[in-house]
């Protein structure tokens, strides 16, 4: 991967990079990706999301764990692209979630900005930072570790 990729990742390219599918695919578009700067992706939060039926009726809020999952999926794309693993069948698996903080609710109609980057990068285990936000207001920040392995 070059240092910076200007190309926006549309749905087709995201589906090629990640094994996730509806309703678990939580990255709608990649705005930019750089080994140095990390990844900038977005999730359009729609009232039609399955989780809003029960979380919470009358006051729909995106669960914090799904914000972390969205950040992890974005980081997975970054890892696959940065380590040259596209098309190899390798998967990025969670190993640890650390220092998760939820700072503001995410509700239907928001465009959730997902930013993630490497804290440590190795061939089989990577550590990431992640930050989700709406209009520059942080909704979640987290550090997490993932393992790269065969499917």
Q: Read off φ and ψ for residue 52, nearest 5 degrees.
A: -70, -15
Catalytic annotation present for 110: no
Where does 51-151 have alpha helices with state H? 64-82
Cα 120 to Cα 49: distance, rounded to the nearest angstrom: 33
Tokens of 60: 């729909």
Tokens of 9: 């990742």
Helix, coil or strand: residue 142: strand
Tokens of 122: 């190795």
Contact assessment for residue 30 and residue 73, using Cβ atoms and an 8 Å cutoff: no
Active site residues: 55
């Amino acid at each position: 991967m070059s240092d910076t990729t200007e190309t926006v990742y549309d749905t087709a390219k995201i589906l090629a990079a990640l094994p996730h599918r509806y309703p678990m695919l939580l990255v709608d578009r990649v705005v930019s990706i750089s080994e140095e700067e990390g990844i900038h992706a977005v999730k359009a939060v729609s009232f039609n999301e399955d989780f809003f039926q029960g979380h919470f009726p009358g006051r729909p809020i995106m669960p914090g764990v799904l914000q972390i999952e969205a950040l992890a999926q974005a980081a997975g794309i970054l890892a696959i692209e940065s380590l040259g693993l596209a098309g190899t069948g390798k998967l990025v698996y969670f190993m640890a979630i650390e220092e998760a903080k939820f700072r503001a609710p995410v509700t239907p109609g928001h465009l959730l900005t997902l930013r993630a980057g490497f804290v440590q990068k190795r061939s089989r285990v990577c550590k990431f930072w992640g930050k989700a936000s709406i209009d520059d207001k942080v909704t979640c920040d987290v550090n997490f570790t993932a393992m790269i392995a065969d499917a």
